[in-house]
Structure 1
Amino acid sequence: MVKKEKYILLDKYIDFLLENSDASSPMWNIERIRSGSKNKWNYIDACMISAYLELYEIKRDKKYLNFCNDFVSAFVNEDGSINTYNIEEYNIDNIRPGKNLFKLYELTGKEKYRKALDTVYSQLKTMPRTEEGNFWHKKIYPYQVWLDGLYMAQPFYMEYETKYNRMRFCIDSFSQFENVERIMKDTNTGLYYHGYDESRQSLWCDKKTGLSKNFWLRSIGWFILSLVDTALAIDESLYYEFRRLQEMLYNLANDLLKFQDDSGMFYQLVDRKDDKDNYLETSGSALISYAFLKAVRNKLLPKRFEDYGRKIFDGILERYLCVEGEELSLGGICLVAGLGGKENRDGSAEYYYSEPVVKNEAKGVAPLLMAYTEIIRLGMAYD
């Protein structure tokens, strides 16, 4: 199949997902479907909504905005309260859906979205922290910082502070990145470890450093995107902080290239390509593609990273996007991976390879669609 046909398939896939999903039953959320539970406020759906909001801004087709508005309105009430959202869970993932409220408020003018921004922000005001000052990943994971948590909270935090709180705590947001760079970055590879436990109590952490054992691709993908989105949200007056975020982004982007496969994609465990059970993984690769392309467009990374981002994107399409029967299928997606918890996830290589690899799941689909919006913006979709 030639490349142009892959893009035509992707366009059809985007509309197919939209036409067959709503807030109660999004067809992309396989993890929720498998659990048999009702849908709720969550970051997975939020990433899909972000992709559709981007498509609306590019194409100005009302079907995208109407879908996003209807989907999020199913959770957000007129007084700004949010159905199924429990602040006292102190789950950092639940901040991420709040990022879409900025754009929905801007596009619709609905005051309930402005009020809901305050609701989400109230979680950050009382969020438990490590001694270094970083938000815990979740209340059920005390004293732990997970790399993906930076993406879930910090772009929202920085944008809220900049727009609505007179920048009072912008430095607090920025400092959490500096802590992560100082503590969780490996100086040999330039990569970042998945997790850090300040208490050193978790079964998965090194008792001396508090760090987990491996470099999990999707967590690094979330993190590099957090650097992009937080840098874009920061006020221009914070020039030093902006340049430091840009420096972290540039350094990580360069170091990632050392581990890129010839296909353009990256492996589930980034630095262990020779492991027999390792595999080229879609979601993390797509996140890096999106981060590269978005950063180039916004002049955060040099122009050469545009080619790297495009190569990753095309590699995913060539390897994992296909037609099965009469339906489009996107494969190579790690369903879920974490540390500790009731599953006693030990952070070993064997653990990461044991998690299900699935098709058509939003943690892979959403990053691919977000990356595609950059491909469209750059005019590269059908060349």
Structure 2
Amino acid sequence: MIKNLCTVIILFFISNFALLAQDEHLKSTRESIHKSIGDNFIWLYPDTVAYPTEEKSYRWNYEQGLMLYAFWQLYQVTNEEEYFDYIKKNIDYYIEDNGNIKTYRLDQYNIDNVAPGRVLLLLYQKTNDERYKLAADNLMKQLESQPRTKSGGLWHKKIYPYQMWLDGLYMAQPFNAMYASLFNKKEIFDDIAKQFDLINKNLKDKNSGLYFHAWDESREQKWANPETGVSPNFWGRSIGWFMMSLVDVLDYFPESHPQYKVLLNMLVDLSESILKYRDNETLLWYQVVDAKTKQGNYIETSASSMFIYVMAKGYNKGYLNKKYSAAAQESYDQLLEKYVRTDCCGNMFLTNVCSVAGLGGNPYRDGSFEYYISEPIRENDFKGYGPFLLSAIELAKIKE
């Protein structure tokens, strides 16, 4: 009996030591994974932030802006010049001495193309190189003249008249807020608050607390509800873009502004709502958020990464309570375990990223459930990899 008791005690200590070692390994991984993710990306894309199919037709675009902003955050926490050099090299390819941005056209009024502007401002802050300021001024000119809905909302693109999309808030407003803060343009904050207010009034579903992908003020689009103008589904990544816009805009939005608490409450309320729709098994989120296990729906990793980033950053900034930091950490652990593939060379690939989704256009995208699940799924799409890196950076900042 004594022998059996000793065996039980030994097994108990071995088991607990293994769990402790696992916990320590997990903690160590969380503290260093952001560097591994960043280094992996540079190894895969050493020359420029562009997909291999686009190497001969580089263009100024929001996906590049997202990745370079993520690398700036990585540079901030590591202070390793390799990351700064990578950012500068990529941006400098486009910026001419007079501030002209190669491949960019203001007259298209594509709000997506404003998104890389934050990186221009960050480079200007660090280097005082006037080229970056001039280029940022060009993007601000677009926002100043961007067509608007009758109620004052910025059109998503010139080719999408009278439409506001959730995506557009991320593409424009963090840059807008940073520009306003840097150059003391206080009046801009009123308009930023107005854009969020219009989204909140027109796209929020009161029952679920979630937001529809887009709104057509004119009600002319086939995808638009004839009474409300909203599209019919809750697409994960569009909600992710919107949540990231909120948490990033608050970096620059003055607390003394009467709408500051409105934006903060918007973030808190949406964080609470989105957490309710997390899958119980994978602890991640579906492509069409509320449809969950409906046939054809799938766990989508760009939206999941965005939600994790917002929860982790929201906690680090004091906007969200500890429940969200815990949720972010456990969701990220599942993301790493189940949706990150490594090849024989050790290269890392984020799987299950929806490559693209939109509304209208040709062929026509009707916003149905069937449409959202029909778009191609790919690995290491930048719209997933950027938030994947940002999430790791924010999680590394959390102190147990």
Identify the TM-score tier after normalising by the shorter chain: over 0.9
Aligned length: 374
Q: Deviations over 1:94-121 (max 9, x none)?
A: 1100011121112222121112111110
Deviation at 1:379, TM superposition (A): 5.0
Residues 1:339 and 2:359 aligned together: yes
- Does the Cα contact within 8 Å between 2:38 and 2:74 map onto a contact in 1? no
Deviation at 1:36, TM superposition (A): 7.5
Q: Which segments of 5 or more consecutive residues in structure 1 lack a partner in the other structure?
A: none
Q: 2:162 aligns with which of 139, 143, 162?
A: 143
Q: Report 1:236-247 matches (<5 A).
A: 236-238=255-257, 240-247=258-265
Tell me the amino acid that sits aligned with residue 368 of structure 1.
F
Residues 1:61 and 2:80 aligned together: yes
Give me the whole-angstrom Cα distance separating, in 2, the residues matched to 1:195 and 1:3: 39
Q: Report 1:354-373 matches (<5 A).
A: 354-373=374-393
- Does the Cα contact within 8 Å between 1:9 and 1:328 map onto a contact in 2? no
Deviation at 1:152, TM superposition (A): 0.6
Give me the whole-angstrom Cα distance separating, in 2, the residues matched to 1:17 and 1:227: 26
* 72-81 or 244-253, which deviates more: 72-81
Residues 1:233 and 2:257 aligned together: no
Give me the whole-angstrom Cα distance separating, in 1, the residues matched to 2:229 and 2:382: 31
- Does the Cα contact within 8 Å between 2:33 and 2:392 map onto a contact in 1? no
Residues 1:255 and 2:298 aligned together: no
- Does the Cα contact within 8 Å between 2:65 and 2:119 map onto a contact in 1? yes
Larger radius of gyration: 2
Give me the whole-angstrom Cα distance separating, in 1, the residues matched to 2:202 and 2:309: 26
Tell me the amino acid that sits aligned with residue 97 of structure 1.
P
Aligned to 2:40: 16
Tell me the amino acid that sits aligned with residue 103 of structure 1.
L
Q: TM-score scaled to structure 1, two decimals?
A: 0.93
Aligned to 1:375: 395
Q: Secondary structure at the match of 1:132?
A: coil
Q: Secondary structure at the match of 2:349?
A: strand
Q: 2:110 aligns with which of 64, 69, 91?
A: 91
Q: Report 1:165-176 matches (<5 A).
A: 165-176=184-195
Deviation at 1:258, TM superposition (A): 1.2
- Does the Cα contact within 8 Å between 2:34 and 2:393 map onto a contact in 1? no
Q: TM-score scaled to structure 2, two decimals?
A: 0.89
* 298-307 or 345-354, which deviates more: 298-307
How many percent of aligned residue pairs carry the same amino acid? 37
Q: Secondary structure at the match of 1:166?
A: coil
Deviation at 1:336, TM superposition (A): 0.3
Rate the CA distance shift 1:204–1:89 in 2: closer, same or farther, 3 A.
same
- Does the Cα contact within 8 Å between 1:6 and 1:317 map onto a contact in 2? no
- Does the Cα contact within 8 Å between 1:6 and 1:321 map onto a contact in 2? no
* 264-273 or 309-318, which deviates more: 309-318
Aligned to 2:306: 287
Residues 1:49 and 2:68 aligned together: yes
Query: Alignment RMSD, CA only?
Result: 1.9
Q: Secondary structure at the match of 1:329?
A: strand
Residues 1:131 and 2:150 aligned together: yes
